[in-house]
């Protein structure tokens, strides 16, 4: 088991210490924070896109292909009644001259993202206080 330390540096800021990094969050000014850092949910969304991105990038680089123009657009469909995401979509804009034969494989590479796979098989959550 790995332990991440969560600290409270002031105001609405909450920080996580993990693998030598301090990952800072804050709430937007409308939510009582200073807007000095992403909100926790923003980091969650960014983790999905960047996770898919590293798999796409690795796939393309491992074949010695150009990454010029490579981009992923992540779109979120929000359910206002449930206050939850209904759908998260990724559109991969591939480099010019990207081989047609690899298009399906690059999509499969993006699907290997550990964050996405964890959502498909969510862990158990246990919260205690002491």
What is the architecture of the domain spanning 39-120? 2-Layer Sandwich (3.30)
> Mapping DSSP to helix (H, G, I), strand (E, B) and coil, where does residue 110 land?
helix
> Mapping DSSP to helix (H, G, I), strand (E, B) and coil, where does residue 34 land?
coil
Please report, for residues 6, 7, 43, the alpha-carbon distance to residue 107 in angstroms, rounded to integers and kept in the order given.
35, 38, 23
From first to last of the 130 residues of the chain, give the pLDDT tens digit: 789 999 999 999 999 999 999 999 999 999 999 999 999 999 999 999 999 999 999 999 999 999 999 999 999 999 999 999 999 999 999 999 999 999 999 999 999 999 999 999 999 999 999 9
Task: Supply the pTM of this predicted model.
Answer: 0.88
Residues in the chain: 130
Q: Which of 103, 111, 112 is nearest to 65 (CA)?
A: 103
CA-angle at 48, arms to 110 and 14, nearest 5°: 160
- How far, in Å, CA of 104 to CA of 86, rounded? 24
Token code pair at residue 59: 């796939």
Count other C-beta atoms under 10 Å from residue 104's C-beta: 9
Domain residue ranges of the chain, discontinuous segments joined by +: 1-37, 39-120
């Amino acid at each position: 088991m790995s332990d991440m330390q969560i600290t409270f540096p002031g105001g609405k800021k909450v920080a996580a210490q993990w693998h030598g990094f301090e990952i800072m969050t804050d709430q937007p000014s409308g939510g009582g924070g200073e807007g000095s850092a992403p909100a926790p949910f923003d980091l969650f969304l960014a983790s999905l896109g960047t996770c898919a991105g590293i798999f796409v990038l690795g796939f393309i680089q491992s074949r010695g292909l150009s990454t010029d123009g490579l981009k992923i657009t992540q779109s979120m469909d929000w359910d206002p009644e449930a206050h939850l995401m209904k759908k998260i979509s990724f559109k991969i804009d591939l480099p010019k001259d990207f081989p047609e034969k690899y298009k399906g494989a690059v999509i499969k590479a993006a699907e290997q993202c550990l964050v996405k796979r964890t959502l498909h098989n969510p862990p158990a959550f246990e919260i205690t206080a002491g």
